[in-house]
Structure 1
Amino acid sequence: MKILGVGFNYREHTAEATDLGIGLPHQPEPLFFHKGDALLKQGMPFFLPDMGSRIDYEAELVVQICRVGKCIAERFAHRYYQHITLGIDFTARDLQRAAIAEGKPWLSAKVFDGSAVVGHWIDKDTLGYPEHPIPFALRHNGLEVQRSDSSCMIHSIDKLIAYISRYQTLRMGDLIFTGTPVGTGPVAIGDHLEGYLGEERVLELAIK
């Protein structure tokens, strides 16, 4: 199983990134990266890494690939996933900022133990997708900090699958984090995160 992430897939977050001091080039095609073996076991807390870094939450829709595919046409991409959840792509923001400024990979900022978190999976038919967009939200210590829906993506789920599969074979169980909307922010020990698809809470996480 591999974990793939997508960067800057919501316009408002791209503007937010500029405010954070992250200079971004024009990116007409999806920007994707690997999260390595960073999946946090469900039900476990997230332990802040001892890196001396600012760790930010990024709530994202996550899709699970259900069949093998290579060079998938966008019109057929819907056949390659059935389950969706909310995930958190934890990011060492200061390390990411430095890597982007220096034109280096984001490995140290994105790939550390437990930095990929997923909630419980929901069938896309239950969510009414793609006929209806998927709303999602994240609460940080009880306060809503992120809210958006799948229609706000720059590149749709199906486009992401088609694009990524041009470069890498997608296999059963692979995860794609599809990008975060505006509202990212830092976490600290003692914080509590809750993620929602619509009104259903699919993720609950303690920071330790």
Structure 2
Amino acid sequence: MKILGVGFNYRSHCTEAPAIGLPEQAEAEAPLFFHKGDALLKPHTPFFLPDMGSSIEYEAELVLQICRVGKRIAERFAHRYYQRVTVGIDFTARDIQRRAMAEGKPWLSAKVFDGSAVVGQWLDKTELGYPERPIPFSLKVDGRVVQAADSSEMIHGFDRLIAEVSRFQTLRMGDLIFTGTPAGVGPIAIGQTLEGFIGEHKVLHLPIK
């Protein structure tokens, strides 16, 4: 199973980049993909803050689960390759990412560490009214909404992401695509509780230990 992430796929996050110490981001013509390695957190377990000497930040995202094998998928057919969606958290070691971006190096150490890819309960896209209606999602930290957006706000939509990445990598059943985060990212601390929502459906509950 592959876990793929997409960087800077919401204009609001591109805009906030300088405020969190990252280089200013222009809207990209093509999606920016990265791998999350074997970093999936086991279901129904807390996230243990790693002893990396780093600032670990949450990034809430809509996550797609690939449901069939595909290579070089045309965008008009891409909707056939995913049926389920959830809210996930792409945990990021922000200080390591800042340093890597400043030096023009890969983000691997900032994005791939144990448990840094979290997914919630899966929902069927048709039951959510997609694609006729965009999919709204949000993240709460200790009961306070810190991120909120919907799928229509993405620079590159679901189908474009699948078409683009499948030019280079075969997508297989069970692969996950974290589709990008909106503005509002921030640090986590021991004792906090993160909750992810699709509309009014709570799909993720994550204590920080």
TM norm structure 1: 0.99
Q: Letter of the 1:50 partner, please give it.
A: D
Q: What runs of 5+ residues in structure 2 fail to find an aligned partner?
A: none
What does 1:1-208 align with in structure 2 at a 5 Å threshold? 1-24=1-24, 26=26, 27-208=28-209
Q: Letter of the 1:105 partner, please give it.
A: P
Any idea what the Cα deviations from partners look like across 1:62-86, whole Å, max 9, x if unmatched?
Answer: 0000000000000000000000000
Please state how far the C-alpha of 1:17 moved relative to its aligned partner: 1.1
Please state how far the C-alpha of 1:15 moved relative to its aligned partner: 1.0
Q: Letter of the 2:111 partner, please give it.
A: K
Matched residue of 1:166: which SS?
Answer: coil
Please state how far the C-alpha of 1:112 moved relative to its aligned partner: 0.2
Matched residue of 1:151: which SS?
Answer: helix
Compare 25-34 and 138-147 and name the one that shifted more: 25-34
Matches of 1:152 and 1:54, distance apart in 2: 27
Q: Letter of the 1:70 partner, please give it.
A: K
Q: Percent identity?
A: 72
Matches of 2:103 and 2:15, distance apart in 1: 20
Any idea what the Cα deviations from partners look like across 1:25-72, whole Å, max 9, x if unmatched?
Answer: 543210000000000011000001110100000000000000000000
Please state how far the C-alpha of 1:194 moved relative to its aligned partner: 0.3
Any idea what the Cα deviations from partners look like across 1:113-141, whole Å, max 9, x if unmatched?
Answer: 00000001000011110110000000001
Matches of 2:41 and 2:25, distance apart in 1: 31
Matched residue of 2:63: which SS?
Answer: strand
Q: Letter of the 2:23 partner, please give it.
A: G
Are the counterparts in 1 of residues 15 and 24 from structure 2 also a CA contact under 8 Å? no
Please state how far the C-alpha of 1:24 moved relative to its aligned partner: 4.3
Matched residue of 2:100: which SS?
Answer: helix
Any idea what the Cα deviations from partners look like across 1:1-31, whole Å, max 9, x if unmatched?
Answer: 0100000000010111122221145432100
Compare 12-21 and 56-65 and name the one that shifted more: 12-21
TM norm structure 2: 0.98
Are the counterparts in 1 of residues 15 and 25 from structure 2 also a CA contact under 8 Å? no
Matched residue of 1:40: which SS?
Answer: coil
Q: What runs of 5+ residues in structure 1 fail to find an aligned partner?
A: none
Cα RMSD after superposing both structures: 0.8
Matches of 1:175 and 1:24, distance apart in 2: 28
